[in-house]
A and B are shown apart, each in its own frame.
Chain A
């Protein structure tokens, strides 16, 4: 009997490791930018030609930076949620239009709705690199002092919004 216990034990440990490993999302790479100041940039705004935006403009407010593009399929998935969320007016959502064509981006917002207080245009993706963007859509929660408090990779789901983003925002807004 005892001689079967050891292989059984090894098997159980292996299964436990696989069970945990298979439920983890390999795309979810922890961002080294958490609790670091949001990288500075100055980019033109999508809607108003000649105006620019930089994160310093948002000092003193808790805000979301949402990286999106008209070519990004998963952005479409999270978009209705963002539009509904923006309507509530709880906090400003700034868009970072990542490696997109101006006409496409404007058409996309016209078609699906514009949840953003403004969208900054990162045409060559250089700012995206500073923010460690590797899979659009990505969303950053930035606090009053301009520090990145959270990074969400991939489309926001109602669950991640309720369980992760909103509690954090509530805490930061105190």
Chain B
């Protein structure tokens, strides 16, 4: 890429950032901001599902961050704020969904796989140990081999 076009890109990108209006309330209260970020990091942005609420630029995410700030200002606890989100958007908004019958498989699934893998490994090792313990040739076979070898001697 030519330097001039690179420059144009830089100007475009940074002017875009300068025009964005969401950064305005940042300096208002550092403590509130810190809590807001901590809470919103626990929450999924439903518009772009693989982003957290704290990192998302979606308009809904901005609105929800504004709601969280407001609730912090009202003196709500973190749990109350998380419940507010779950009541509206369901357990799916939480990156760490609660333990309940419908999520048992979700939480327990990895351990089931681990148990399955361990069982397969143990079965494999046992079988190999048994195979190794058995003599390569039975006494009968050994005798036959000896006779055959004797015969080939000059």
Contacts and interface: CB of A to CB of B under 8 A. Distances in A.
B89 interface: yes
Interface in A69-119: 99
Contact of A32 (B49, B59, B64, B88): B88
B22 interface: no
Interface residues of B, number: 15
Contact of B90 (A27, A29, A125): A29
Given A129-B63, A129-B67, A135 B46 contact: yes
Given A26-B49, A29-B46, A131 B63 contact: no
Looking at chain B's contact residues, the main secondary structure is: helix
Contacts of B59: 99, 125
B89 A125 contact: no
B52 to A, nearest CB: 14
Contact of A132 (B49, B88, B91): B88
Looking at chain A's contact residues, the main secondary structure is: loop
Contacts, number: 38
Interface in A130-152: 130-135
Interface in B52-104: 59-60, 63-64, 67, 86-92
A172 interface: no
Interface residues of A, number: 18
B60 to A, nearest CB: 6
Contacts of B86: 32
A133 B64 CA distance: 11
Contacts of A124: 63
20 contacts: A29-B89, A29-B92, A30-B92, A31-B90, A32-B86, A32-B88, A32-B89, A32-B90, A32-B91, A33-B88, A125-B59, A125-B63, A129-B64, A129-B88, A130-B88, A131-B88, A132-B88, A132-B89, A133-B60, A134-B89
Interface of A: 26-27, 29-33, 99, 124-126, 129-135
